[in-house]
Amino acid sequence: MNNSSCNGGAGLPDMKGQPDLSVELAPTHSRGLLLKNPVMVASGTFGYDGYGRGIPQEMDLSRLGAVIPKTFTRYPREGNPEPRWYPESYRVARETGEPVLLNAIGLTNPGIEAGVREVAPQWESWNATMLLSMSGESVGQFGEMAAMAQGKPGFSAIELNLSCPNVEQGDLFSYSAEGTYRAVDAVKRHAEVPVLAKLAPNVPDIAPIARAAVEAGADALTICNTIPAMTIDVESRHPTLGNITGGLSGQGLHPVAVALVYRAAQAVSVPIVGVGGVFTARDALEFILAGATAVQVGSANLADLWAPFNVLDGIRSYLGERGIGDIKELIGAMEA
């Protein structure tokens, strides 16, 4: 199930004489998850449909550390009613360059069965390190999905979106240490590849939840998902999103996410992927200095498809200008 792009070239400096940007996200897993560099595309922000539609043919995805297409659920989902974006839409963001602040997509997807049979196999042609994102409504669904994905081609690891409704407890899995443990454990019983657990930000303390994910076998953590939020049109007195509430992303989320990464890094020893408001190399470097091994670019992709590449180039320039030979020297290197 490992992508061929994870071999030969990954783990080496991107260019001769340049800093070594390679990072390892699953150092204790038998297959590992070695990335060429720490820049990843966040789930749900990869092209117009979240699965790569609209990506220019000249875009070399193999240059990035990894790409995570939109989440698959156990069964197909149509998603939430329109409008799903604020401001206005994904396409408007592309035309104006203004970042999307809120979204309420509702995990629109064809379901995991079609995902691993029809969608994921196409990813191999991109020669990039791909991760499969999945989200279940119950512990049983997480286990079923992991079993259905076992041995399938196209991806090198699984990222668990633990911020969907937990119908068994009426809450989100990552709102509790117990829910997180059970979901991760159900997947690890079947998964042959490394597993990343993506956690929610709006919890009293992320440390016990992070520890629970690791105790259940998570090879790495992704921190964090969006924060529940809403806006209201004061003229019409209607919410701006069809679902009323949505998730806050972008630059407003960034300092919250950096703090959560820092807190989690003090609690666990597995690699952490920081996500939330990465628009520039400095945003990414904040995460890394706080303890993240890699970062994901999300909202920035909605306004500029080339954003991850710009972030990557900026990180490389930062290291080169300061004579830093290895990105790993900066992981957790914040001086308090």
Q: Which residues are catalytic?
A: 164
Q: How distant, in Å, are the alpha carbons of 46, 161, 192, 303 from that of 150?
A: 23, 18, 7, 35
Contact 155, 148 (CB under 8 A): no
Query: Do the strands 34-35 and 195-199 form a parallel or antiparallel pair, or are they unpaired?
Result: unpaired
| Region at 159 (left for phi over 0; alpha for psi -120 to 50; beta for the rest) | beta
Neighbours of 192 (CB within 10 A): 16
Contact 249, 278 (CB under 8 A): no
Contacts of 323 (CB under 8 A, 6+ apart): none
The C-alpha atoms of residue 107 and residue 111 are separated, in whole angstroms, by 10
User: H or E segment at 8?
Assistant: none
Which tokens belong to 36?
């060429």
DSSP string, 16-43: TTS-B--EES-TTSSS--EESSSEEEPT
